[in-house]
Structure 1
C-alpha cells in the first residue's frame, strides 16, 4: 500500500485545506445559526472549486464507474476522480460539512449521474448541480421500499410521490429522483430520473430544521403528475428482474466512500482541536507503550488509531472505484467504519474538552452535531453491516434480511 497522497492531488488537497481554514471556519457558526440562509460566500468559490470535477459529471466521483471483475484492467494502476474527490472532501469537511455540501455543482446527484448515465446524458447535464432524492416518509434506508411511481405516457414519464431529506434539494439545478416503474415488481423496477427545477408538477414542500449541517438546505419535494422527458431516465428503461436495481445501486458504490471521507475530515478536525486545547496538560509520546500512558493520553491514542483505520478503508474503496474494481463491500465497510468512528470521536472530543466542548465558543459541539448525519444518510450503520454480511456470506437480500 502506498502511504503517501499521490503527487497529482497534493495541490488539490492543499487548496481545499486552505478553503476549510480561511473561508469555511470563519463563517461556519454564522450559517449554523442562520439556517436556510444561502451561504453567499460559496458562489465566489464555485469557479475555483470546479477543479474538483471541472463542473462536469463526467469528471466527478464515480466517473470511473465501479462494478468490474475485481481486476484493475489493462490501463495500469491509476488514481482518478474518486480518489481526488474523496481527498478534497476530507479537507473541506475539516472546515465545515454543511458548507461542503452546499458547494454549487458538487451534489450527490452528480455522482449518481456519473454512475448510471449514458455519455449523451453526461454531456447534456454537464455543469448542472444535481441533488439526489431517495428517502420517502415511509421509506428510509430500505431503498427497495420506494413508493414514488413513474408511469410511461408517450415520450414522457409521469412522476407521483413525495421525497424528503433531499440534500441541497432547493438550491440545486435538478434532482435525481428514484421512482418505481411498477411497484408490484419490487426493487427491480426502480429507476432514477433527472428532474429539473421548473418542471410542472415538481413543488418544494418545505425546508427541514435539523440537528446539524444547518447551512445545507434539506428539502421535502412533492411530485404530482410531474412529466419528465424519457431521455431523462438514467440507464435503461427495461426492467430486469434477475439483475434487480443493481445499476441504480451502483450509485452508492460511488457515494458511500465520499460520505465516509466527509466523516473522516470532520473527525480529524475535532481530534486535532482537542489536542491543541490539551497541549499544556498532555504530552503525547508515541515511543512509549500505551499501558504506561495516562488515561487521557490512552484515549487520544485509541481515537487516532480508529481514525486512521477509517481513513485507509475510505482511500481503498475510492482507489478501487478508480481502477474499476467491484467495491460494493468495501464501500459499505468504509461507510460503516467512518460513520461510527466519526460520531464517536466528535462526541468524545466535545466531552473531553469540558465546558469548552459544550459551548459555542468552540466548534467542537457543532462538529459533534454535524457528524451524526454522516452515519445515517447514504445508508445507516445497520444497513451497511447487513450489506457486508451478505457479501461475506454470499447471500442475497431475500436470504439475509
Structure 2
C-alpha cells in the first residue's frame, strides 16, 4: 500500500499550493473583515481553473467529484481519478483560505452535486454554471430526510414552495441545487434535487447571514413561492423508487463529504504548519524523543499531528473508493466526522499553544480557528455522521436507529 500522493497529481498539488500561498493568503484578512463583499480577485483564478479543466479527465475542483466513469471494480484496475484529485486540490487551497475556496465561481457544493447525479445532457447544459447547494431548512438541520420544501409536477414544470437557509454562495451563484420532496407521504424516497437558476420567478434571496467564520463566502436564506422550474432541471431519475429510498439523492454526499473533510484537513494543516514555525523559535522539536521526555506543549503538538494524519488518510480513502466505484457512504461519513472534529481541535489548540500571539489578528491562527468550526457542521454534523456510521456497522435502518 502506497500512502504517498500519486505522482500524476504532483503538479496539481504544487499548483494549488502556490495559489493558496500567493493568491489566497495575501487577501485572506481583507475579506474576513469585509463580510458580504465579493472577492473580485477570484474571477481570474476561476477562469484559469476552467481552462485547466477543459477536456481533462483529472480535473481540479468540485466538478470532478463523481463516480461517473470510475472503474467498475478494483479487479479491473485501480484508479486514482477525479475524486482524489479534487480532494487533494481542496486540501491545498484550504491551506490558504476556506472562505475564499467556498466563494470560488463554479467550485461550489452544488457543482459537486451536479457532477454526482446529473445525466449526460444535464452535465453538458450546466457545465459552465456556478451552483450553490440548498438543503437546510428552518427546523430541519442535519436531518435531510425531514425536508418540507415541496415540488409539485405541473405539465413540463415543477412548482417549488418552501424556504432554505444557510445556502453557501446562495446570492452570488448562477443557480441553486434545491432539495425538495415530490410526496411528503412517501418520506425519504420522494426527495429529489432541482437546479433553480437565479432570476426564476418565485425565487427570492431573503437574508444574508453574519457568521463566525468563512466570511469571504456569502451565506443566504432563500424562499420559493410557486417557483416554476423546468422538469428537465430535476437531477437524475425523476421516478420515485421506494425500494431505493433516500439512496439516490444521498449519493451526492458520498462525493461531497470527502471534499468537506478535505477542507478541514487543509485548514488544520495551515494551523499546524504555522504553529510549528512559531514554536521552533523557542525550542527545537525532536521527534525521536518519547512523549514522556518532552514538554507538555511539544507532546500536544505531536499528538495533534498524529490525529491530523489519521484524518487525512481516512479522507483520501473515501475519495479513492469513489474513484473506484466502491460503496463509500460509511467511509465518507467516517472521514467527515474525523476531519471535522480534528480540524476544530487542532486550530483551537494551536491558538492556545502560541499564547497571545495566536489570539491576535497579527496572525491568521485565530481566523483559522473560526473558519474551522463550520467544517464540523455543514454537510451533516458530527453527530449525524456518527449516527450514519453506526447504522452502517450495525445494519440498522434510519427508523431502527435514531
TM range, normalised to the smaller chain? over 0.9
1:63 and 2:69 aligned? no
Q: Counterpart of 2:79?
A: 78
Kindly provide the CA deviation profile for residues 306-326 of structure 1, in whole angstroms up to 9, marking residues without a partner as x: 000000000100000011111
Q: In structure 2, do the counterparts of structure 1 residues 51 and 308 end up closer, same or farther at CA, with 3 Å as the change threshold?
A: farther
Contact 1:68 1:324 in 2 (8 A): yes
- Give RMSD over aligned pairs: 1.8
SS at match of 1:94: helix
* Runs (5+) with no aligned partner, structure 2: none
**CA 1:104–1:10 in 2, change beyond 3 Å: closer, same or farther?**
same
Deviations 1:32-76 (A, max 9, x none): 00000000100111122236744999952432249998x4252x1
Distance, in Å, in 1 between the alignment partners of 2:272 and 2:187 is 44
Partner residue, 2:167: 166
SS at 2:74's partner residue? coil
Which residue of structure 1 aligns with residue 245 of structure 2? 244
Query: 1:241 and 1:209, CA in 2 relative to 1: closer, same or farther beyond 3 A?
Result: same
Unaligned runs of 5+ in 1: none
Q: What are the residue-to-residue correspondences of 1:2-401 with 2, within 5 Å? A: 2-50=2-50, 53-54=53-54, 60-65=63-68, 71-72=73-74, 74=76, 76-401=77-402
- For 2:69 and 2:33, the matched residues in 1 are separated by 39
Q: What SS class does the counterpart of residue 101 from structure 2 fall into?
A: helix
Contact conserved, 1:55 with 1:126, CA < 8 A, in 2?
A: no
Please say if residues 71 and 323 of structure 2, whose CA atoms lie closer than 8 Å, have aligned partners that are also in contact. no
**Cα deviation digits, residues 263-292 of structure 1 (max 9, x gap):** 000000001101111112232212222221
Q: Could you tell me how far apart the structure 2 residues matched to 1:347 and 1:55 are?
A: 41
The alpha-carbon deviation at position 116 of structure 1 amounts to 1.1
The change in CA–CA distance for 1:180 and 1:381 in structure 2 (over 3 A counts) is same
SS, match of residue 96 in structure 2: coil
Q: Structure 1's 106 and 19: CA in aligned 2 closer, same or farther, altered over 3 A?
A: same
SS in 2 for 1:282: coil
Contact 1:52–1:88 (8 Å) recurs in 2:
no
Cα separation, 1, equivalents of 2:306 and 2:53: 31
Distance 1:66 1:254, change over 3 A: farther
Runs of 4+ that moved beyond 3 A: 51-59, 65-69
Q: How many residue pairs were aligned? A: 399
Report if the CA contact (8 A) 2:70-2:81 is conserved: no
1:112-163: CA deviation from partner (whole Å, max 9, x where unpaired) = 1111111111111111111110000111000000000000001100000010
Checking the alignment, whether the CA contact within 8 Å between 1:52 and 1:84 is kept in structure 2 is no
Q: CA offset at residue 395 of structure 1?
A: 0.8
Distance 1:54 1:97 in 2: 24
Q: What is the TM-score of this pair, normalised by structure 2? A: 0.96
Distance 1:395 1:52, change over 3 A: farther
Output the CA distance in 1 between the equivalents of 2:57 and 2:78.
Answer: 22
* Per-residue deviation, 1:240: 1.5
Shift of 1:293: 1.4
Query: TM-score, normalising length from structure 1?
Result: 0.96
Tell me the distance in 2 between the aligned counterparts of 1:231 and 1:267: 41
- Return closer, same or farther for 1:13/1:111 CA change in 2, 3 Å cut-off: same
52-61 or 363-372, larger mean C-alpha shift = 52-61
Q: For residues 345-391 of structure 1, give each alpha carbon's deviation from its aligned partner in whole angstroms, at most 9, with x where no partner exists.
A: 00010111111111111100000000000000000000000000011
